[in-house]
Amino acid sequence: MNKSNNTTWDPAWLSITRNAVAELERHVETAMHLAHKEKWGSAEGLEYAYIPTPKLPKELRDIASAAPCDIEYEVVHVVDSVPLHVHQLSGGSIVVLHPLKGAQMDAEFYIRLPGETEGTWQRIHGGEHIDIPAGTAHGFRVSTGTDVWVLSVDTPHLKESDRVFVTH
């Protein structure tokens, strides 16, 4: 199957990223293991590692190969507050991982969908799934001494130039 070379988000892809992030959650230990073998990048407030699709379990490779678009699997470690921003061309889905035993999660996620004039900060919990269509303002706030681990599936691939910081 030929992948779409369209570089902009297609709302129909949201169901693909939802299914992929749910499957990635089922393989969380493998995903974390693979991510720690990769080169980690950083952006304001977070660290991330892309997981090469060929190294993923078969179920995730099958989702990627059947999709009409490129899919990017990623592990994200939120270590500080992440300023509000949008990705104009990429969208996807995330799942917040449960904190390690004995660790606390004191974090909030901001979301403002395209076309809305106001968004909201919401406390987040382990196991929560969040859809982030392209053009959606979003960010994290974490308390001192707290961090958050997230599995992320995006399409098309995220590019640093696609991230634009915004205000409320």
CATH number of the domain bearing residue 112? 2.60.120.10
Question: Is 112 within the bounds of a domain?
Answer: yes
Question: Is 6 within the bounds of a domain?
Answer: no
Question: Is 24 within the bounds of a domain?
Answer: yes
Give the chain's domain count. 1
Question: Is 149 within the bounds of a domain?
Answer: yes
Contacts of 162 (CB under 8 A, 6+ apart): 87, 88, 89, 90
d(CA 16, CA 23): 11
Q: What does the DSSP 8-state code read for residue 112?
A: E
| pLDDT one digit per residue (tens) for the chain, 168 residues | 456 555 667 888 899 999 999 999 999 999 999 999 999 999 999 999 999 999 999 999 999 999 888 899 999 999 999 999 999 999 999 999 988 766 777 899 999 988 898 899 999 989 999 999 999 999 999 888 888 999 999 998 888 888 999 986
The pTM for the full model equals 0.89
Total Cβ atoms within 10 A of residue 42: 10
Query: Could you tell me the residue range of the domain that residue 104 belongs to?
Result: 11-165
Question: Is 3 within the bounds of a domain?
Answer: no
